[in-house]
Chain A
Amino acid sequence: MGGPLRFLLSNEFGLIVLVLLFGILFSTLSPAFLSKFSLYALGRTSAVNIMIGFSMMVVIITGGLNLSVGAIGVGAAMFGGWLMQAFGMPWVPGVIGGLAMGAALGALNGVIIVRSGLHSFIITLATMSIFFGVMIYLTRAESYREISPAFTSYGRMKILGVISPLLLVTFAVAIMLSVLFRFTALGREMLVAGANARAAEISGIRVNRMITYCHMLSGILAGVAGLMLVSRTGAAIPSMAGQLGQDWLLPAFLGPVLGGTLLTGGRLSVLGTLLGSFLVTMLTTGLLLMQVGAFWIQTYLGLLLLAAVLIDLARRSYLERRKLL
């Protein structure tokens, strides 16, 4: 089967169709959906949600989970903010410091998981509380707002009046992740270790090391998401991901799962995660714009997601009947 045809039959193409369908639906019901301000806001919010999805995706490929993505993201952002405020660091070393903290916390998760042999669900559930608790204790729940104006201006900048630079950062990270998992030995070893740890071990892949690397990468990506929020809000804020970082859990899972990343590990889709996270953000924005009652939004969001999955299932069934899949 040729490349273009294979793409037309893929999960990612299904998501593109859904994004277009819901885009047409929302813009028909509320023309303001396509206003510059609305599109800009949608892109900016999506950028962070997609990054959170990536953060979970790179751990799901090991067959594990990372419930501490929010706590790590906030921890990294707070550390970066502290460096910039307390030491007057320019934003580049401050951001690098924040990402290093994200990497360290993620690696700590990985090391505990491989050393203990316990499931990542248990370990990251515990570290979620530990990381967040230590952060609150050290910061006294105070924000850092003396952030370099050059850095915070990115969060408010509009390219051509409609594109947020944060979205470009997300696209750049997506490309890097695609290259990592498609074209490098390290990325492929991570996938093989997640698909079948025993077989990977026999073929000489250091599975434990790969799991640790995946968690470290997850920490870095969570740190990127946290620092994007710092740029967006102009401050590093302890509550940016809610209590214990739990606000990030839903976007963290929805994007990868809708995008076709296997929960059993071994397979991922960077484009699928990007599209899945974008679809969820678009649905929320569209429902808000249509003034659906606040307490109905979750219900409608659930219904729309169910509809999205069923539409995709129908598409696949059709293709299978036609022997195209």
Chain B
Amino acid sequence: MTQWSGYFGLILQGALVTIELTLMGSVLALIMAFLAGLGRLSRFFAIRALATAYIEFFRGTSIFVQLFWAYFVLPFIGISLTPLQAGVLALGLNVGAYAAEVVRGAIQSIGREQYEACIAVNLGRWQAMRHVILPQALLVMLPTFGNNAIELLKATAVVSLISLTDLTFQAQVVRSQTGNTMVPFTTILIIYFALALIISWGVRSLERRMARGLDGVRV
């Protein structure tokens, strides 16, 4: 009989690394999404071009390659990252590129009459964006942001390839030490799924909170 409790400890440690990566990656992705999403709507060509280049490049190349590049190639130009730093960077930039299009689309979905109301009450461009357009657009973004966060969670598995001890890495450790394949991989399958469920629930309750009052039912 294998000593499973010790191995579960390993897997739980891996789960913590995965959660940490997901949280840090999501924060970076969120920042990149707003920078690039707003950048795509900029009045200035240079900013639009920069934002578009970022989005197209990171959507158009594989997350594996991006991660390997961040971890193995950057040292050649004098930037050495820890596996965690490289993982957060690659995940954040990759998912941020997708989410940037969500930000842009949501902002553009807000009707012209809202922009016109802002002009009529003489708000500046940034004031209108900050106080009128973004709060409404955020509600449109949320469901897709939830999807993006789950995508990011699942993509964290690739960091096991640069020896970061996340869930997937630990499962492989357990497998090689015990010779048992089914238990470790089934366990992490369930853990990934549970984490994804937590993200969906969180996003949905946030959505409900933000939509309060907009439907005319609640006070």
Q: Do A and B bind each other?
A: no
Interface residues of B (CB under 8 A from A): none
